[in-house]
Structure 1
Amino acid sequence: MTYELKTKQNDRSVIEFIEGVDHPKKREDAYKLLDFFTETSGFEAKMWGPSIIGFGSYHYKYPTGHEGDAPLVGFSPRKAKISLYFATGDTEREQLLEKFGKHTSGKACVYINKIDDIDVNILKDLIRQSITFLQKMYPEKS
Structure 2
Amino acid sequence: MPTTKPTNVSVDDFLATVTDDRRRTDSQAVCALLRELTGTEPRMWGASMVGFGRQPYTTADGKSHEWFAIGFAPRKAALTLYGLTYDDSNADLLARLGPHTTGKGCLYVKRFDAVDHDVLAELITRSWELNHRP
Same fold judged by TM-score > 0.5? yes
Q: Which runs of structure 2 are paired with 1:36-75 in the superposition (5 Å)?
A: 36-61=33-58, 64-75=61-72
Q: Which runs of structure 2 are paired with 1:4-19 in the superposition (5 Å)?
A: 5-19=2-16
Q: Is 2:132 aligned against 1:120?
A: no
Residue 128 of structure 1, CA deviation: 1.0
Residue type of the alignment partner of 1:30: S
Counterpart contact for 1:102–1:117, Cα < 8 Å: yes
Question: What is the CA–CA distance in structure 2 between the aligned matches of 1:119 and 1:111, rounded to whole Å?
Answer: 14
Q: Is 2:129 aligned against 1:132?
A: yes
TM-score w.r.t. length of structure 2 = 0.90
Partner of 2:73: 76
Counterpart contact for 2:71–2:82, Cα < 8 Å: yes
Cα distance change of structure 1 residues 103 and 63 upon mapping to structure 2, 3 Å threshold: closer
Alignment identity in percent? 33
TM-score w.r.t. length of structure 1 = 0.85
Structure 1: any 5+ residue segments left out of the alignment? none
Q: Tell me how large the CA RMSD over aligned residues is.
A: 1.8
Question: What is the CA–CA distance in structure 2 between the aligned matches of 1:6 and 1:124, rounded to whole Å?
Answer: 29
Partner of 1:94: 91
Counterpart contact for 2:83–2:131, Cα < 8 Å: no
Count, aligned residues: 133
Q: Spell out structure 1 runs of 4+ moving beyond 6 A.
A: none
